[in-house]
Structure 1
């Protein structure tokens, strides 16, 4: 429930990050702008948060952005060149695989940027420059506030770089009102509890998203999986016909973050739960056969910050109703 405060703190800090030498970024701006590519490296929630920011960073910077899971990068010794900027994302700043990947990139000679929630962490000390997201302490094993803060940390920074004036102004306007929108969407708590009650005996859950909200689907599924101990998969909606559609029937709940695949899922009698903007239900599903989660509408690149919160609430209530510990998921520890 502290997401609005963490968002507000981060937004106030964003002016410092961009106008002064916050984390040493300013001294390396020229190198970043001339990078052949930007590589985001992380694990779990940190990876998903970077994935959400990727489309906008590509749009605003004009630089290709690639994604790497830290352990996979190490296993295959993936190529990182000196003219790349490697961005390492870790809530704790102590994630073992991410730190090993950092050592690998440093030996190659690439510029290494850190994004973390922990001042003085190994990641903060060993990278050339970086950003502290100021999300506040994450008490539980599963990160939530940090995920919500990572996204618009990158967005707030890159929106002030190579970008059209109109787009930058629209993002800035929406950023300033974001804490209020987060508070508004948290009012869906009771509605998400009712949804959790209806799903308590379900064995699996699919979440479809595309564009900015592919990462939302991935992160929402991860939260349900790690704390509610329920099988859940986040899937790219555009890939639905290439396998996942075979799973859909009247018994399988499917959350769709409003995309063009809704009609195809309805045709298979899918048990649909649709997340869409407030007042847009008739356009998304005219026959009213679906259950809706209505969220405030913001600029498209910021929508994942809003859309992930109902899924976090759903994961929380499923966990409580199933009798599990929200802060200490089975077999997991803080990394």
Structure 2
């Protein structure tokens, strides 16, 4: 399948996204975007649809934490109809693999009419999004044929990480060497995660008959929970929901029984880990099935989780890139197991060019 090939393309695709754009010695980031656009922005709006919207949610975390600028993330289809508060001090970033997504383009046009600067994060040179933008960050992921987005998503995350660093630079803030240095280790970390493939294929066999799935994440992992759930529903047709881990007790906990697999993203600092661990214990107390993804020693979770998915720890800003890979593989193998056409799922199109 193209999808499996594209999942395996990711170490190289991620390398290609930052290649030539980062000078690790001088800690400089060079994007094809005028520094003036970046230095004058007072607020940032990220607009996108589907998986690209999940990338935007991660982008909000990155930009707000690294640059301390306020960021809004909206769906293209919502943004243009709510008369957003936009003027020349707003930088609007459209995120679209194809650069042809109708709702995202319309949102960008609406913002332009209000005086905003436009950037696009895009994978297709010469596409409509790139033509209407003041600057473009190409993701350089290479062609993506599978309808469910994999390498386009992770390269968008790296592009947004680079955007955050470029914003810092343009605004005279210090770019941390360890932030940039972490990029150099990312392809290797992703290669390590891809080695989990046989274990994930085996796991898929055990849970392919589930009717529902719940994905839980906290902080920067919440968008990854959403993305994991979207991948599963797109290619296996299993109803799946992503939720902030701390919100579980405000509703979804009612759904938990011995038939519900819960994928819990347990990476991050000790506080975040302890919180998700307590969510895992709440699920187990109600006989739920827990698949825990963690960057900690497996023994910290083996006593509570049914399955432990170990991932390498990397810089917190890049951890989402590593964490989503096993979720892509799990969705892929469950889809294959259920006999679905994973490259061409029913009712879906690669580029949604209608409104």
TM above 0.5, yes or no, is: yes
TM-score for both structures, normalised by structure 2: 0.88
1:150 aligns with 2:168: no
Say whether residues 1:275 and 2:293 are aligned partners: yes
Question: How many residues are paired up?
Answer: 327
Q: Give the distance between the partners of 1:255 and 1:239, measured in 2 at CA.
A: 15
Q: Deviations over 1:290-329 (max 9, x none)?
A: 3100011101111100000000001111111111111101
Contact 1:88–1:115 (8 Å) recurs in 2: yes
1:300 and 2:316 are equivalent in the alignment: yes
Are the structure 2 counterparts of residues 111 and 58 from structure 1 closer, same or farther at C-alpha, using a change threshold of 3 Å?
A: same
Structure 1 unpaired stretches of 5+ = none
| Pairs within 5 Å for 1:171-320 | 171-258=179-266, 259=273, 260=275, 261-279=279-297, 281-283=298-300, 285=301, 287-320=303-336
CA distance in 2, matches of 1:248, 1:162: 43
1:65 and 2:71 aligned: yes
The 4+ residue runs of structure 1 with deviation greater than 6 A are none
Q: Is the 8 A contact 1:209 1:217 kept in 2?
A: yes
Give the Cα separation in 2 of the matches to 1:321 and 1:77. Answer: 45
Task: Out of 193-202 and 286-295, give the one that drifted further.
Answer: 286-295
2:131 paired residue among 125, 136, 159? 125
Asked whether the 8 Å contact 2:291–2:305 carries over to 1, the reply is no
Q: Answer whether contact 2:193 2:311 (CA < 8 A) is retained.
A: yes
TM-score by length of 1: 0.93
Mapped to 1, the partners of 2:347 and 2:55 lie a distance apart of 23
SS at the partner of 1:301?
coil
Residue segments in structure 2 that go unaligned for 5+ positions in a row: 1-7, 267-272
Equivalent position to 1:107, from 103, 109, 113: 113
Structure-2 residue corresponding to 1:78: 84
What is the DSSP-based 3-state SS (H/G/I as helix, E as strand, rest coil) of the residue aligned with 2:19?
helix
RMSD value over aligned CA atoms? 1.8
